[in-house]
């Protein structure tokens, strides 16, 4: 039985599809839906830039969450939105562990091929290290 | 004049390239600017012999210097005054140990083992005594440790550590004359009076147009910088302390701080870090790579010698003590500022500068990786009981986020 769903949302179309998919599943199972966005900290964190980055990231996601809340409201689903700081994969896994999440939905990653090759992709890491089931959602999903 | 516009276009282009690299790879912009500066200079020298990036042009020096002053001010303004009000003995003990041990240790290794001259060795000590408040801040935020008493003490200790570095840089290399006494006395008076005067100024004129607050702060920073330079000291010394004393007033004015950050990070610091990178000699690093490794190892070992016993004296368990030690072994901004100061004042050679910058860059990365991989105090991660003050800026950010 799925009781708690986590959607990792980074503002991309892919992660929006994951969110819509999450809404469908949440409705079906009457599960709680949490949306987590991660403000990435540039490495190594630098004086002034780090705080600037975090504040701007926080504002950016707060704006995006308004749209998600609206979407969820139209579908009669209550969602919980959260912002974490750090490396996306690490924070998603930590959040899932801490909040006893049953399933994580992620959008598939297509952009930034060089960075992904160098650092590894977020979905790869989450799939391999998450404490629960992970589903990668293709970006052609739309809520019905 | 066309040469100036051409050159400034080249520098801004490099800054833009650095920013793209920073975004693609998820690395700090300062780091990518230093590396791009190094590579761009090497390419220009290699392919267009006789040309350079123009790092010694007076207007580039001015923009870069202004970047260092404003960056240091903003770093000081990020201080959370609440961390000093509680546990000040622990903060002072760990912060001073974190400064003095690498300062003397790295200077000794440079002098006795690497055979650098006395002043170059002292500069090596200063450049490698630094820590990075930002690294500690980010790690604490990621793990939620900044809300714990432990996190606050470590952050406070980092400010004390960097204050030691900035004071040492400002006073050791200047000749002690009557000018030094005048500089110190005027500075003390200004630092005491500034919070009240500034609060009054911002209250009375803060809402007027034409960026009057920015001009007020720039006047303060440049005037005190001029006084410091007149006394043979370094302009970042008063800038950092002004930032710290105004952290409780100007530092809380988020809209103003953001405008100042835009000016600093958008225009000035790219010139600073690109210039710092362009002055690194890659050939020197290739010729003697072990020197920078020795400097990096010395910094980490001496930080351990200083911070670990201090953390144990503050009754930290072994894991927290090692973690604190490693986090305080980081440092990029102040290490680069000290190294560049040494080069531009003829205290160190270009080769020595290159080894120091390489060690400083490595020290920003290596200790954090080791700390998080092997010594993370996981039992503290869920400690959620110590948000103590409504005035605390750092926990506020996390409180909102959580």
The residue with greater pLDDT, B83 or A122, is A122
Confidence check: pLDDT of A50 > 50: yes
Which of A34, A49, A91 to mutate against chain B (most B CBs within 10 Å)?
Answer: A49
Six token digits for residue B77: 């303004």
Q: Which residues of A touch B (CB under 8 A)?
A: 40-52, 54-55, 58, 82-87, 90-91, 98, 112, 114-115, 118-119
Average pLDDT estimate for A51-75: 90
Compute the distance between CA of residue B338 and CA of residue B191 in angstroms, rounded to an integer. 23
Compute the distance between CA of residue A43 and CA of residue B335 in angstroms, rounded to an integer. 16
Asked if residues A44 and B368 have their Cβ atoms less than 8 Å apart, the reply is: yes
pLDDT at residue B228, rounded to an integer: 93
The residue with greater pLDDT, B316 or B7, is B7
Confidence check: pLDDT of B305 > 70: yes
Confidence check: pLDDT of B49 > 80: no
Q: Which residues of B touch A43 (CB under 8 A)?
A: 26-28, 365
**Residue closest to B203 by CA, chosen among B243, B250, B262:** B250
Compute the distance between CA of residue B332 and CA of residue B63 in angstroms, rounded to an integer. 20
Report CA torsion sign: B277, B281, B282, B284: negative
Considering B64-68, B147-151, B152-156, B250-254, the range whose residues carry the highest mean pLDDT is: B64-68
Q: Check A44 against B137: CB less than 8 A apart.
A: no
**Residue closest to B294 by CA, chosen among B123, B124, B99, B104:** B124
Q: Report the residue count for chain A.
A: 144
User: Please, what is the average pLDDT of chain B?
Assistant: 85
- Which of B30, B141, B401 has the CB atom closest to A49's CB atom? B30
Q: Per-residue pLDDT tens for B211-240?
A: 888 999 999 999 999 999 999 888 888 999
Band the pLDDT of B158: cuts 50, 70, 90: confident
Confidence check: pLDDT of B402 > 70: no
The residue with greater pLDDT, A26 or A138, is A26
The verdict on B362 touching A (C-beta cutoff 8 Å) is: no
- Which of A87, A91, A115 has the CB atom closest to B25's CB atom? A115
pLDDT at residue B197, rounded to an integer: 94
Band the pLDDT of A98: cuts 50, 70, 90: confident
Average pLDDT estimate for A55-73: 91
pLDDT at residue A114, rounded to an integer: 55
Could you give the residue ranges of the DSSP H alpha helices within B173-288? 178-205, 212-230, 236-245, 254-263, 269-278, 282-287
Helix (H) or strand (E) holding A36: strand A32-39
DSSP one-letter string for B37-87: HHHHHHHHHHHSTT----TT-HHHHHHHHHHHHHHHHHHHHT--THHHHSS
Band the pLDDT of B243: cuts 50, 70, 90: very high
pLDDT at residue A123, rounded to an integer: 83
pLDDT at residue A141, rounded to an integer: 65
The residue with greater pLDDT, B210 or B70, is B70
Alpha carbon of A28: minimum distance to chain B alpha carbons (Å) = 28
Sorted by sequence, the CB contacts under 8 Å of residue B163 that are 6+ apart come out as B95, B240, B241, B244
Band the pLDDT of A90: cuts 50, 70, 90: confident
Confidence check: pLDDT of B53 > 90: no
- Which of A47, A48, A115 has the CB atom closest to B24's CB atom? A115
The residue with greater pLDDT, B318 or B115, is B115
Q: Using alpha carbons only, how large is chain B's radius of gyration in Å?
A: 21
Band the pLDDT of B140: cuts 50, 70, 90: confident
Which of A36, A37, A39, A42 to mutate against chain B (most B CBs within 10 Å)?
Answer: A42
Q: Which residues of A touch B402 (CB under 8 A)?
A: 82
DSSP one-letter string for B302-320: HHHHHHHHHHHHTT--HHH
Least confident of A49-53, B138-142, B322-326, B336-340: B138-142
Q: Check A118 against B364: CB less than 8 A apart.
A: no
Q: Which residues of B touch A112 (CB under 8 A)?
A: 24
Percentage of chain A with pLDDT > 90? 31
Band the pLDDT of A19: cuts 50, 70, 90: very high
Confidence check: pLDDT of B271 > 80: yes
Band the pLDDT of B388: cuts 50, 70, 90: very low
Q: Check A46 against B258: CB less than 8 A apart.
A: no
pLDDT at residue B400, rounded to an integer: 42
**Residue closest to A27 by CA, chosen among A67, A77, A69:** A77
Asked if residues A107 and A139 have their Cβ atoms less than 8 Å apart, the reply is: yes
pLDDT at residue B250, rounded to an integer: 85
Band the pLDDT of B134: cuts 50, 70, 90: confident
pLDDT at residue B293, rounded to an integer: 93
Average pLDDT estimate for B106-122: 96
Backbone angles phi, psi at A33, to 5 degrees: -120, 120
Alpha carbon of A7: minimum distance to chain B alpha carbons (Å) = 17
A79-85 and A32-39 beta bridge pairing: parallel
Report CA torsion sign: B90, B93, B96, B97: negative
Q: Per-residue pLDDT tens for B25-43?
A: 888 898 899 999 999 988 8
Confidence check: pLDDT of A48 > 50: yes
Q: Give the angle subtended at the CA of B123 by the CAs of B131 and B121, to the nearest 5°.
A: 120
Q: Which residues of B touch A58 (CB under 8 A)?
A: 397, 400-401
Compute the distance between CA of residue A136 and CA of residue A139 in angstroms, rounded to an integer. 10
Confidence check: pLDDT of B278 > 80: yes
Compute the distance between CA of residue B395 and CA of residue B386 in angstroms, rounded to an integer. 10
A32-39 and A103-107 beta bridge pairing: unpaired
Confidence check: pLDDT of B386 > 50: no
Taking the C-alpha atoms of B347, B350, B353 and B354 in order, what is their torsion angle to the nearest 10 degrees? Answer: -170
């Amino acid at each position: 039985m799925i009781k708690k769903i986590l959607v990792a949302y980074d503002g991309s179309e892919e992660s929006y599809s994951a969110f819509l998919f999450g809404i469908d599943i949440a409705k079906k199972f009457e599960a709680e839906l949490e949306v987590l966005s991660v403000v990435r900290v540039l490495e190594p964190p630098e004086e002034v830039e780090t705080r600037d980055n975090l504040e701007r990231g926080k504002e950016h996601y707060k704006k995006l969450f308004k749209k998600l809340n609206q979407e969820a409201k139209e579908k009669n689903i209550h969602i919980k939105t959260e912002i974490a700081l750090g490396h996306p994969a690490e924070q998603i896994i930590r959040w899932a562990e801490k909040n006893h999440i049953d399933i994580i939905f992620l959008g598939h990653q297509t952009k930034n091929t060089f960075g992904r090759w160098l650092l590894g992709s977020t979905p790869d890491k989450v799939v391999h290290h998450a404490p629960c089931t992970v589903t990668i959602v293709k970006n052609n999903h739309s809520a019905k | 004049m066309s040469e100036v516009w051409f050159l400034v276009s080249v520098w801004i282009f490099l800054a833009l390239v650095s920013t793209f690299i920073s975004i693609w790879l998820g690395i700090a912009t300062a780091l990518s600017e230093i590396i791009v500066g190094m590579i761009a200079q090497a390419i220009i020298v290699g392919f267009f012999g006789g040309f350079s990036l123009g790092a010694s042009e007076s207007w580039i020096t001015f923009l870069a210097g202004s970047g260092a002053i404003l960056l240091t001010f903003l770093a000081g303004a990020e201080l959370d005054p609440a961390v000093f009000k509680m546990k000040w003995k622990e903060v002072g003990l760990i912060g001073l140990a974190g400064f003095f041990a690498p300062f003397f240790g790295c200077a000794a290794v440079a002098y006795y083992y690497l055979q650098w001259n006395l002043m170059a060795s002292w500069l090596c000590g200063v450049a490698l005594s630094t820590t990075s408040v930002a690294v500690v801040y980010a790690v604490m935020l990621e793990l939620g440790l900044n809300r714990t008493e432990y996190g606050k003490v470590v952050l406070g200790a980092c400010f004390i550590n960097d204050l030691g570095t900035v004071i040492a840089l400002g006073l050791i290399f200047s000749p002690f004359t009557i000018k030094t006494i005048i500089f110190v006395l005027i500075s003390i008076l200004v630092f005491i009076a500034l919070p009240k005067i500034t609060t009054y100024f911002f209250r009375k004129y803060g809402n007027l147009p034409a960026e009057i607050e920015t001009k007020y702060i720039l006047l303060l920073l440049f005037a005190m910088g001029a006084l410091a330079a007149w006394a043979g000291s370094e302009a970042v010394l008063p800038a950092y302390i002004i930032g710290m004393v105004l952290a409780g007033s100007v530092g809380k004015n988020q809209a103003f701080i953001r405008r100042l950050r835009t000016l600093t990070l958008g225009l000035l610091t790219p010139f600073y870090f690109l210039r710092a990178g362009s002055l690194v000699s890659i050939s020197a690093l290739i010729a003697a790579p072990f020197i920078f490794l020795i400097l990096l190892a010395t910094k980490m070992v001496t930080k351990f010698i200083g911070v670990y016993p201090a953390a144990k004296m503050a009754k930290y368990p072994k894991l927290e003590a090692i973690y604190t030690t490693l986090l305080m072994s980081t440092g990029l901004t102040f290490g680069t500022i000290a190294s560049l100061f040494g080069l531009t004042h003829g205290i160190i050679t270009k080769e020595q500068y290159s080894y120091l910058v390489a060690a400083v860059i490595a020290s920003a990365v290596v200790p954090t990786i080791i700390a998080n991989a092997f010594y993370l105090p996981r039992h503290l991660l869920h400690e959620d009981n110590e948000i103590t003050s409504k005035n605390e800026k750092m926990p506020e950010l996390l409180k909102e986020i959580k």
